[in-house]
Amino acid sequence: MIYLDHLASTPLDPLVLEAMLPWMRPEAAGNPHAAHPAGWRAADAIEQARGEVAALVGAQPGEVVFTSGATEANALALLGGVPAGGGGVVSAVEHASVLGCLPELRRRGHPVTVLPVDGAGRVDPAALDDALTDMRHSSIVSVMAANNEVGTVQPLAELAAVAARHGALMHSDAVQALGTRMLDMAALGLHGLSLSGHKLYGPMGVGALIVRPPFRPVPASAGGGQQRGLRGGTLPTPLCVGLGAACRLARERREEDARHIGGLRDRLWQRLRDRLPGIRRNGATDGLAGCLNVTIPGIDAADRLLDLPDLAVATGSACHSGVGEPSHVLLAVGLSAADAHASLRFGLGRGSTAAEVDEAADRLAALLAG
DSSP string, 260-275: HHHHHHHHHHHHHHHH
> Strand 343-347 and strand 87-91: pairing?
unpaired
Selected catalytic residue, list 240, 247, 291, 319: 319
217, 250, 283 - which closes a domain: 250
- Identify whether 101 is a catalytic site residue: no
Kindly tell me if the per-residue pLDDT of 223 is higher than 90. no
Rounded to whole angstroms, how far apart are CA atoms 210 and 224?
A: 20
Could you tell me if 88 and 217 lie in one domain?
Answer: yes
User: Range with the lowest mean pLDDT among 5-9, 170-174, 291-295, 300-304?
Assistant: 300-304
Confidence of residue 225 (pLDDT cuts 50, 70, 90): confident
- Look over the chain and give the mean of its residue pLDDT values, rounded to a whole number: 94
Higher pLDDT among residues 8 and 302, named by residue = 8
Kindly tell me if the per-residue pLDDT of 257 is higher than 50. yes
**Structural domain for 209, as ranges:** 14-250
226, 250, 274 - which closes a domain: 250
Q: What is the pTM of this model?
A: 0.95
Kindly tell me if the per-residue pLDDT of 207 is higher than 50. yes
- Positive or negative: CA dihedral 363, 260, 176, 195: positive
Tens digit of pLDDT for each residue in 333-345?
Answer: 999 999 999 999 9
Could you tell me if 318 and 334 lie in one domain?
Answer: yes
250, 280, 298 - which closes a domain: 250
The whole-number average pLDDT for the span 209-222 is 91
Kindly tell me if the per-residue pLDDT of 370 is higher than 70. no
Tens digit of pLDDT for each residue in 16-56?
Answer: 999 999 999 999 999 999 999 999 999 999 999 999 999 99
Q: Which of 316, 201, 317, 191 is nearest to 249 (CA)?
A: 201
Alpha carbon dihedral 128, 99, 205, 175, in 10-degree steps, equals -30
> Strand 291-295 and strand 343-347: pairing?
antiparallel
Kindly tell me if the per-residue pLDDT of 318 is higher than 50. no
CA dist 38 → 31, 151, 178, 188, 227 (Å): 7, 44, 33, 39, 19
Confidence of residue 364 (pLDDT cuts 50, 70, 90): very high
- Collapse the DSSP code of 337 into the 3-class scheme (helix H, G, I; strand E, B; otherwise coil) and give the result: helix
Q: Taking a C-beta distance cutoff of 8 angstroms, is the pair 258, 247 a contact? A: no
Q: Taking a C-beta distance cutoff of 8 angstroms, is the pair 344, 313 a contact? A: yes
Rounded to whole angstroms, how far apart are CA atoms 187 and 8?
A: 28
CATH classification at residue 337: 3.90.1150.10
Q: Which of 38, 65, 43 is nearest to 223 (CA)?
A: 65
Could you tell me if 96 and 221 lie in one domain?
Answer: yes
Q: Taking a C-beta distance cutoff of 8 angstroms, is the pair 340, 326 a contact? A: yes
- Percent of the chain predicted with pLDDT > 70: 98
pLDDT number for residue 321? 46
Could you tell me if 60 and 105 lie in one domain?
Answer: yes
Could you tell me if 272 and 153 lie in one domain?
Answer: no
Rounded to whole angstroms, how far apart are CA atoms 326 and 184?
A: 34
Could you tell me if 194 and 272 lie in one domain?
Answer: no
Could you tell me if 237 and 275 lie in one domain?
Answer: no
CATH classification at residue 186: 3.40.640.10
Could you tell me if 172 and 286 lie in one domain?
Answer: no
- Positive or negative: CA dihedral 194, 197, 199, 204: negative
pLDDT number for residue 106? 96
Could you tell me if 264 and 229 lie in one domain?
Answer: no
Q: Taking a C-beta distance cutoff of 8 angstroms, is the pair 38, 237 a contact? A: no
Kindly tell me if the per-residue pLDDT of 319 is higher than 60. no
Could you tell me if 233 and 290 lie in one domain?
Answer: no
What's the alpha-carbon Rg for the chain, to the nearest Å?
21
Could you tell me if 231 and 281 lie in one domain?
Answer: no
> Strand 280-282 and strand 87-91: pairing?
unpaired
Tell me which amino acid residue 337 is. A
Q: Which of 69, 197, 47 is nearest to 39 (CA)?
A: 47
Could you tell me if 259 and 186 lie in one domain?
Answer: no
- Looking at the 3D structure of the chain, how many domains does it have? 2
pLDDT number for residue 317? 42
The whole-number average pLDDT for the span 323-350 is 93
